[in-house]
């Protein structure tokens, strides 16, 4: 099969780093902190690479939109198995809406048969880019995937839904967003990291794409959540269960 899979990957604050609200209250301090590939994107990439290894696809292209330093996550993506990478360079912090618009242009150029992407980024936790992208492309979507099978120009996807799973079949081309259980991503091994240095990485200036990147949201304030306070000691189980039902409303 000669299908191309495109995998958008985001550079985010490494998941091991405890986010710290910046002293000026404008955001989370990421200066000098370790940045890595969004873990959900790693899963999406792994899935794409596995599909290629199974023969369901012929090429995996990783795309990142961000500053020059985002090329590090693209190198990682290529070490994990992507064949080539595209960096859409911008120093502006973009909203999912703008990201989807840029991806749409890249996709029109690359003509992939499948977009495999993380269901959300662990920084803004918006969980929107894949769905918006599918809408803009007028493609079907299969979000929160925990299993993907590609056959006969269709993807059968098991989706994580509240309280269970759902199986749907989407015709390709489509957008699939990866959930946690989809797979266990491989390590970027040292030999593969070395080889990835020689794989092609193309850089495109975001400004050259003619996309309106103006934010639709203004961040007024970022603050730390209030510390938990000690609650009450209840006398027995009856009181506990009744409070959980009526006061906390966590039990039906």
Partner 1 sequence: MTQSAPQEAPIEREEMEFDVVVVGGGPAGLSAAIRLRQLNPELSVCLLEKGSEIGAHIVSGAVIEPRSLAELFPDWQQRGAPLDTKVSEEKLLFLTEKRFFPIPAHHLLMPQMDNQGNYVISLGDLCRWLGEQAEALGVEIYPGFAGRHLHIENGRVCGIVTGDMGVARDGTQKPEFTPGMILRGKQVILAEGARGSLSEHAIRHFNLRSHCDPQTYGLGIKEIWEIPKERHHPGFIQHSFGWPLDDQTYGGAFLYHFGENLVSYGFVTGLDYRNPWLSPFEEMQRTKLHPAFSHHFKGGRRISYGARALSEGGFQSLPQLSFPGGVLTGDSAGFLNMPKIKGTHTAMKSGMLAAEAILEALQCERNEAVSYLARVKTSWLWPELYEARNIRPAFARWGNKAGALYSGIDSFIFRGKAPWTLHYSHSDNETLLPAAQCKAPSYPKADGTLTFDRTSSVFLSNLSHEEDQPVHLRVQSQTLWEEVNARRFASPESRYCPAGVYDGERDADGNWSLTINSQNCVHCKSCDIKDPLQNIRWVPPEGGSGPNYSSGM
Partner 2 sequence: MTALVLIETEGGQLRQAARSAVTAARSFGDVDALVIGEGAEAASHLEGVRKVLHVTNLNHALAEPVAALLAQLASQYSHILAAASATGKNILPRLAGLLDVQPISDVIAIRDDATFVRPIYAGNALATVQSRDAIRILTVRGSSFDPAKDGNTAAPIETITAPDDSKNVRFIRVELSQSDRPELEAARIVISGGKGLKDAANFDRLLAPIADKLGAAIGASRAAVDAGFAPNEMQVGQTGKVVAPDLYIAAGLSGAIQHLAGMKDSRVIVAINLDPEAPIFKVADYGIIGDLFEVLPALEKAL
The residue within the footprint of partner 1, chosen from 17, 136, 168, 180 (CB under 8 A), is: 17
User: Considering only residues 56-95, where is the footprint of partner 1 by CB under 8 A?
Assistant: none
- State the nearest-atom distance from the C-beta of 133 to partner 2, in Å: 7
User: Considering only residues 35-54, where is the footprint of partner 1 by CB under 8 A?
Assistant: 36
Give whole-number Cα distances, 28 to 17, 41, 52, 224, 240, in Å: 11, 21, 37, 10, 38
Contact between 222 and partner 1 per CB under 8 A: no
- State the nearest-atom distance from the C-beta of 88 to partner 1, in Å: 22
- State the nearest-atom distance from the C-beta of 189 to partner 1, in Å: 4
Contact between 249 and partner 1 per CB under 8 A: no
Nearer to partner 2, 46 or 123 (CB): 123
Handedness of CA 175, 178, 183, 186 (dihedral sign): positive
User: Considering only residues 164-203, where is the footprint of partner 1 by CB under 8 A?
Assistant: 184, 186-187, 189-191, 193-194, 197
Which partner in partner 1, partner 2, none is near 91 (CB below 5 to 8 A by kind)? none
Nearer to partner 2, 45 or 137 (CB): 137
The CA distance from 61 to 180, in Å, is 21
DSSP letters spanning 165-212: EEEEEEESSEEEEE-GGG--PPP--HHHHHHHTTS-EEEEEGGGG---
Contact between 34 and partner 1 per CB under 8 A: yes
Point out which residues bind partner 1 (CB under 8 A). Answer: 14, 16-18, 20, 23, 31-34, 36, 184, 186-187, 189-191, 193-194, 197
């Amino acid at each position: 099969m000669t299908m191309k899979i495109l995998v958008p990957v985001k550079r985010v604050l490494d998941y091991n780093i405890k986010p710290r609200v910046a002293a000026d209250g404008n955001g989370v301090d990421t200066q000098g902190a370790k940045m890595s590939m969004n873990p959900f994107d790693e899963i999406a990439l792994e899935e794409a690479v596995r599909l290629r290894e199974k023969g369901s696809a012929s090429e995996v292209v990783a795309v990142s939109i961000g500053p020059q330093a985002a090329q590090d996550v693209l190198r990682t993506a290529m070490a994990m198995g992507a064949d080539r990478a595209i960096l859409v360079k911008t120093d502006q912090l973009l909203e999912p809406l703008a990201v989807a618009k840029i991806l749409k242009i890249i996709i029109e150029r690359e003509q992939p048969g499948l977009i495999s992407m993380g269901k959300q980024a662990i920084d803004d936790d918006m969980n929107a880019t894949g769905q918006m992208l599918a809408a803009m492309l007028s493609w079907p979507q299969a979000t929160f995937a925990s299993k993907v099978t590609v056959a006969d120009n269709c993807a059968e996807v098991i989706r994580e839904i509240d309280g269970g799973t759902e199986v749907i079949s989407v015709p390709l081309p489509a957008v699939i967003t990866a959930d946690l259980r989809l797979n266990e991503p491989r390590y970027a091994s040292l030999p593969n990291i070395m080889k990835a240095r020689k794989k092609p990485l193309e850089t495109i200036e975001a400004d050259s794409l003619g996309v309106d990147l103006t934010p639709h949201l203004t961040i007024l304030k970022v603050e730390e959540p209030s510390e938990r306070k000690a609650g009450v000691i209840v006398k027995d189980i009856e009181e506990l269960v009744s409070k959980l039902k009526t006061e906390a409303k966590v039990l039906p």
